[in-house]
Each structure stands twice: as structure tokens, then as C-alpha cells.
Structure 1
């Protein structure tokens, strides 16, 4: 598995929403993951990396290299066998996806499970299952508009996924 790093300098409007002076936001130290079985199957073996403000990372690797496993660990879907995760300078334990969300980490899975007759906002609201993250439709639509504007995307939250 190979970790590639790009630095974001500006957005289309000239602003950098990630400008936090390159501070370390996320650190993975010695992340190891094995799956039990007749033979212990080691997927990740002492992975170290950090994510600084203003960086965009990609994980590149062959099928089975551990890309999804590390993403699942960092978002709380899987628990690590060993190692530490630090967010904003504090050691954290991520036992569930809700723990990940509480620390600002979420995973967008590659499966496209959209409801074609729903709007963009309605499809997003399907993922907001926890009561703490349930919002009125108007608030979700407004947030989608804000994010779309910030990142220079043309997304109308009221558009049906299947036109």
C-alpha cells in the first residue's frame, strides 16, 4: 500500500478553508490489524502516517492491500489490533462509526446505494441515522448548499438523483 499526499492551497474562490498552518489533525501510530482464524491473517503491520491541515491524501494499492481496512479503523467501523490514533493532539479510541463522527471522521463507502427517486438531500439524510445527527430537511439542504459553494461544486439538494 502506498500513501500519496497532495497539499491544497486554494479553492476556486481563492480561499483555503483548510488553512490551519499545517497543524497535525490526525496521526496513526503503529496501526496493526489482524483477523483471527486458523492462521492469524495480518492485514496492516505497524502503519504510521499523519494528516496535516491543508493536505489531501490518497491510498493506493492492490486489492487486499489494506486500504479499506485502514479507512474502516480510522472511521470506527473496525477496531485496531494495536497502535494509537491521535486526533487534534489527543489519543482517541474509536469503537464505532458514531465515535468517528464525534471526532469529525466519516467514511464514504464505494457502494452506490442511492435511492433514485429521492433528492440529493433525502439520500444524504438516510445516512444521518443517529438521533444526535438528525436535522430538519431545510437545515440539511442549507448545509449542502454551503458545502457546494465552498468547494466550487454545483449540487442542488432538491434535485432528484435520477432525473
Structure 2
């Protein structure tokens, strides 16, 4: 069970390399309940790479991620979604007829749900 005192999100020592290029170098951050965090930086600073690691699109070469004190399995977007992590991609095309929330959730719904048997 997750601790109520645990940070909402904790990234510890996240490092990601692409060949000789170090995109993220030992990034650590903690997000407390009720806190808002902005991740700012120049183009190529590694912001999108870090968010892709958090969401499970990439696997960090080093480091760990916890959500409410529980380890987040690396490279598993479904685990990120189950932990309450969503991602609006940088080159994402929004559906104008949907709300902001609906756009964020778009694609996270199961496409096929098993039929339930009626008694």
C-alpha cells in the first residue's frame, strides 16, 4: 500500500544515453501533493526524453521512478497510465471537438472489452 506521506512523484538519478549523446544526466526531482512543477529548457535539453521515460516510452539507462512511494516499472506505458500518469505528446494533434481532458485520455481506453455473459 502506498504511503500517504510519500511524494506523488519521485525521479532519482535518471540517466538516458543515445550512443555517445547523454540526453538526461542523473536527473532527480520530487513532486509533493498539491505542488505544480514546470519543466523548462532549451530545445534539445532533454525534457521530452525525460517525460518519455516517465510515461514508459523509453527506459532509463540508470535511475528509478516512484509514484506515491511505489516503484514504476520501466518501459511500460500501461503501468504509467494505471499509476495516473498521462502524457500529451509534443507533436500531438488535438481533436477540436473534445475537451482538454478527453484529448489527454484519448487512446487510453480499451478498444475491445470482453462481452459479459448474462445470467
- TM-score (norm: length of structure 1): 0.57
**Which digits, 9 at most, give the CA deviation of each residue in 1:73-93, with x for residues without a partner?**
111111111101111112221
Equivalent position of 2:42 in the other structure: 62
Equivalent position of 2:98 in the other structure: 120
Tell me if the contact between 1:22 and 1:54 (Cα under 8 Å) persists in the aligned partners.
no
Equivalent position of 2:117 in the other structure: none
Regions of 4+ moved over 4 Å: none
Equivalent position of 1:24 in the other structure: 7
Tell me if the contact between 2:95 and 2:103 (Cα under 8 Å) persists in the aligned partners.
no
Name which one, 1 or 2, has greater alpha-carbon Rg: 1
Equivalent position of 1:82 in the other structure: 62
The RMSD of aligned alpha carbons is 2.7
How far does residue 41 in structure 1 lie from its aligned partner after superposition? 1.1
- 1:7-18 matches, within 5 Å, as none
Segments of structure 2 that go 5 or more residues without pairing to the other structure are 114-119
**Which digits, 9 at most, give the CA deviation of each residue in 1:25-55, with x for residues without a partner?**
111111000012xxx2111111111010001
Segments of structure 1 that go 5 or more residues without pairing to the other structure are 1-20, 135-163
Tell me if the contact between 1:97 and 1:106 (Cα under 8 Å) persists in the aligned partners.
no
In structure 2, relative to structure 1, the CA distance for the partners of 1:132 and 1:94 (3 Å cut) is farther
Structure 2: distance between partners of 1:65 and 1:133: 39
From the two aligned structures, give the one with the greater helix fraction: 1
Bigger relative contact order (CA 8 A; separation at least 6): 2
| Aligned length in residues | 108
In structure 2, relative to structure 1, the CA distance for the partners of 1:115 and 1:79 (3 Å cut) is same
